[in-house]
Amino acid sequence: MSYVKIMVHLVFATKYRKAFLTSEVRAEVFEHIRIHSASKGIFLKAIGGYVDHVHCLLSLGSMQTIADVAQLIKGESSFWINKNRICKSRFTWQNDYFAVSVSESHVKRVMTYIENQERHHAKQTWEKEANEFINKYGFQLIK
């Protein structure tokens, strides 16, 4: 048996950053993502976000890739949101996402950050947060 613990901070946004995820919608969508993730063997340690994006702290299994996990979460949740008419208009996630590894010594700090997204975004926009991720982690933007 293989033992693997690779913690990943995954961030993804609604298409065109539309503010679909009102507080009521957010709670319902996050609970659905928690339940669906568990059913697919995705260990989701924390989920949070704001009106236009989601943060997840998860652990990759030995046979999981970031791309597969992101697709499972995003694809199934958008299907579920549309099927159940959770939003008034057609819902979709943006294709791209951010993903960074998280060392064990930073897990609690990242969990707190994720769980406090609503308070965080009362002070800071998604664009500013995204630019901080790009700069902090040295992402190269390919156009």
pLDDT of the residue at 135: 79
Q: How far apart are CA 58 and CA 39, in angstroms?
A: 14
Task: Give the pLDDT confidence score for residue 131 in this predicted structure.
Answer: 75
pTM of the predicted structure, to 2 decimals: 0.87
Q: What integer pLDDT is reported at residue 141 of this predicted model?
A: 59
User: Mean pLDDT by 10-residue block, N- to C-terminus, for the chain (143 residues)?
Assistant: 89 94 94 96 96 96 94 97 95 95 96 90 75 74 56
**Strands (DSSP E) along 1-143, which ranges?**
6-14, 43-50, 53-60, 93-102
pLDDT given for residue 127 in this prediction: 76
Could you give the domains of the chain?
A: 6-136 (3.30.70.1290)
Q: Which amino acid is at 76?
A: E
